[in-house]
Amino acid sequence: MRKRDTTAPANPTKVHCAVKPLNEVFQLTVNGRTIRSAEATQAAILDAATEEFSAHGFSGARVDSIAVRAKTNKRMLYHYFIDKAGLYLAVLERMFAEVLVAEKGLNLKSKEPEDGIRQLTLFIWNYVLEHPHFVRLVSTENKLKAEHLKKSEKIPHIHSHFVEELTDVLRRGIEKGVFRQDINPSMIHLTILAMSFYYISNKHTVAVSFGHDTSSPEATTAWGEHIVATILASLK
C-alpha cells in the first residue's frame, strides 16, 4: 500500500481575511493579490471618486485617477456606474444618504421642541464642519446648475425627510406655545444651511477680513452657538 504523502506544499496559499463593517463588504488577500466582494469594490470606487470629484470638480476629475485610487480598473468602474456622470451622481446620492443616516440617530421625536431645534442645528453645523467634501461637492453641483442632481430620484426623498423631521419639531413647539405660528420649515432649514455653508466655504477670506482664526475649536464652537441662537430667536 502506498504511503500517504504528508509533506506540506512548498508554497502554501496564504489567505488573510479583512472584514469591513459596511453591509457585507469584505476582501481577501491571496498570495499578495486582493480579492474584493462587489460591495467592497463599489465602496472603494465611491470613496476614491468622492476624493477626486471634491478636489477637482466634475470636469477636472479623471476616471483614470479614480481607478488608481480605488485599486481597480476602469472596466469595473464602468460596469458598476455606466459612465463618469453615473459615478458622480452615485457619489452625491451616497453623500446625502450618509447625512440622513447620521441625522436619524438624533431621535428628534423624543426631544422637547427647543432642544430638538438646538440639536438639529448643531448636527447640521458640525456635519458640514467635519465633512469639507460635502461643501465642495454641493458647490460643484451648484456651478453645474444641479444638472446631475435633477436626475436623482433618491435625493428629493432625503431632503423631504429632513423637512418632515423639522416640521414635526416646529409643530410641537407651536402647540406648546414656545414658537410663533407662521413658521416656514423650509426657510428655517435653508437658514441653518446658509449660515453653516458660508462659514466653511468662505473661511479663508473671512479669516483675513475679520483678522482671526475661523477654524480654531473656540471659533467654530462659538459660531455653532450663534447659529442656534439666531434660529431660536427667529422662531419666537
Residues 134 and 221 in one domain: yes
pLDDT number for residue 13: 36
**Helix, coil or strand: residue 38:** helix
Q: What are 54's three cell numbers?
A: 471634491
Q: What is the pLDDT of residues 30-80, one digit of tens each?
A: 345 455 688 989 999 999 999 999 999 999 999 999 999 999 999 999 999
Pair 112, 73 in one domain: no
Q: Give the pLDDT confidence score for residue 36 in this predicted structure.
A: 62
- Domain extent for 131: 86-235
- Structural domain ending residue among the three candidates 81, 111, 126: 81
The answer to whether residues 117 and 231 belong to one domain is yes
Which pLDDT does position 17 carry in this prediction?
A: 29
The last residue of one of the domains, among 81, 96, 123, is: 81
Q: What is the DSSP string of 71-135?
A: TS-HHHHHHHHSSHHHHHHHHHHHHHHHHHHHHHTT-GGGS-HHHHHHHHHHHHHHHHHH-HHHH
- pLDDT for res 34: 53
Structural domain includes residue 3: no
149 is a domain residue: yes
Sheet containing 15-19: order of strands? 15-19, 26-30, 33-36
Residues 29 and 128 in one domain: no
Q: What is the pLDDT along the chain (236 residues), one digit of tens a residue?
A: 444 444 444 443 333 323 333 333 444 443 454 556 889 899 999 999 999 999 999 999 999 999 999 999 999 999 999 999 999 999 999 999 999 999 988 989 999 999 999 999 999 999 999 999 999 999 999 999 999 999 999 999 888 888 999 999 999 999 999 999 999 999 999 999 999 999 999 999 999 998 888 999 999 999 999 999 999 999 99
User: Domain for residue 115, yes or no?
Assistant: yes
Q: What's the CA gap between 25 and 38, in Å, rounded? A: 8
Residues 156 and 185 in one domain: yes
Q: Do 52 and 104 have their domain in common?
A: no
Nearest to 71 by CA among 92, 99, 43: 43
Q: What pLDDT was estimated at residue 216?
A: 93
- d(Cα 107, Cα 119) in Å, to the nearest integer? 10
Shared domain check, 53 and 90:
no
Domain total for the chain? 2
* Residue where a domain terminates, one of 31, 59, 81: 81
- Residue 163's contacts (CB-CB under 8 Å, 6 or more residues apart) are 185, 186, 189
Q: What is the pTM of this model?
A: 0.80
CATH number at residue 163: 1.10.357.10
